[in-house]
Structures are given as structure tokens and as C-alpha cells.
Structure 1
Amino acid sequence: MKVNVRGVHLELTDAIKQHVQTHLIRPIERFFDDEAAELEIHLRDRNGPKGGADMECSVTVRLPHAATIHVTEVDDDLYKAIDLARDRLETASKRALERSQDRRRDEVPVGDLPPVR
């Protein structure tokens, strides 16, 4: 999986990078082990020095031949926003995998189709 982590209006410290690696990237890799998959993470301070509930974690997962999953969470604490985004992304990922499996079950093998007259 290709991973891209960017900080917008904030510095990506080693502690933030470590938290993203252990709390976001590793859990998501359980669902998507495809090397062609892309995980894009944007960490952003919306209000800058003004403060408030403005720390945003935006995560996009792009899979080949599948839907793109996008999640955004905002909190006053960046670490909480990362954890909330992980939780929502896990839920969305499970749902997407279930949908793809349901679609496969609905397919009828060619041999089971009635003959054409």
C-alpha cells in the first residue's frame, strides 16, 4: 500500500508520525493489503493559532477497481481526530468489503443459466 501523509498548517513531529503509523496505518492495512492501494492522510490545523475544535484528519483510500473511501474528522485534539478517523474508516471499510462480497454472491455462473432459445 502506498501511503502519503501531509501536514497542512502544522508541523509533522515524530510523535504525530508515530501515532499515525500505529493508530491509523497499521489497522487499515489489515483490510487493504493490495500494493496498488493508496492511503492519503491530510492532517490540518484549520484555524491556526486561534485555537478551537479545528484539528482535522482527512483520510482517503483509493483501491483499484473499487470505490474510493473518504473520511474526515475534526476535534480540538489532533490525536483524537486521528483515532476518530480510524474508527470511521474501519466501519466504512468493513461496509465496502461486505458490499463487494454480496455482489459476488449475486453473480450466477454461466453454466447455471438456462439455454437460449
Structure 2
Amino acid sequence: MKLVIHAHHLTLPPDLGAFLRKHVTRPLARLQDDSAAELAVHLGDARRKKGGVDQECRLSFRMPGTRTLHVESVQEDVHVALLDAAERLKRLVKRELEKMRSRTGHPMHRPLGRSYRLSASRRGVTPDGDPAGL
């Protein structure tokens, strides 16, 4: 999994790399471990001059074969914002993978006799070799 970190108007904490590996990339790798997957982390100070609750974390996860998943969290601390966004992203990835793995509304499984009988009647013969119009 490729990891890209962007910081806007914010100095990165020194333990950010280990924190991301432990709390974000490792749990995501358990769900979707593909070398083509990409996680983009955008950290920023939303209102840097005013102060207050404004540490922003946006996570964008690109999985092959599906849409890009986006999650955003604004908290007082960067680590808390990352944990909140990581939990929401894990739930979103699980839901997206369930959608990909779920059955569609079309019946995929038919009993062998029925499917053979349907395909044989389309060809114009029954399983015995007689014409289907009988």
C-alpha cells in the first residue's frame, strides 16, 4: 500500500509515521492488502489564526476496482483526528468490500437439471434428444 502525507499550515509530529503505521495502515492492510492501493493523508490547521477546535484530518483511500473513499475529521489534536478518521475509514472500506463481494439480484445458482433443461429447450431439443415442442 502506498502512503502519501500532506501537511498544510501544520508542523508534523515526530512520531507521526509510527502512529500512522500502527493505527491506520496496518488495520487497512488487514482488510485490503494490495500494492496498487493508495492512502493519502491530508493534515491541516483549518483556522490557524483563530485557534480552537481546528486540527483537520482528511483520508482518501484508493482501492483498485472501486471508487475512491474519502473521510474527514476535525478535532482538537491531530492524533485524535487521525484515530477518528481511521475508524470511519475502516467501516467504510468494510462496507465497500461487502458490496463488492455480495451477490447481485440475478440468480447465479440453478439446479443442474433446470439449467440444462433451459439451455436444451433454447436449442430446440430436450435432454433426451427429442424436439422441444413435444
Structure 2 gap ranges (5+): 124-134
CA RMSD after TM alignment: 2.4
Greater relative CO, 1 or 2 (CA 8 Å, sep 6+): 1
The count of corresponding residues between Structure 1 and Structure 2 is 117
Alignment of 1:1-117 (within 5 A): 1-103=1-103, 108=108, 112=115, 114-115=118-119, 116=122
Distance 1:23 1:34, change over 3 A: same
- Normalised by the length of structure 1, the TM-score is 0.86
| Identity within the alignment, % | 35
The higher radius of gyration belongs to 2
Structure 1 spans left out of the alignment, 5+ residues? none
Q: Which structure 1 residue ranges, 4+ long, deviate > 6 Å from structure 2?
A: none
Amino acid at match of 2:29: E
More helix per residue: 1 or 2?
A: 1
Once the two structures are overlaid, the 10-residue window that deviates more, 55-64 or 19-28, is: 19-28
Supply the distance in 1 between the matched residues of 2:60 and 2:107 (Cα, whole angstroms).
Answer: 29
Bigger CA drift: 11-20 or 51-60? 11-20
**1:5, 1:104 → 2: CA distance?**
37
SS in 2 for 1:50: coil
Q: TM-score by structure 2 length?
A: 0.76
Q: 1:11 to 1:96 in 2, by over 3 A?
A: same
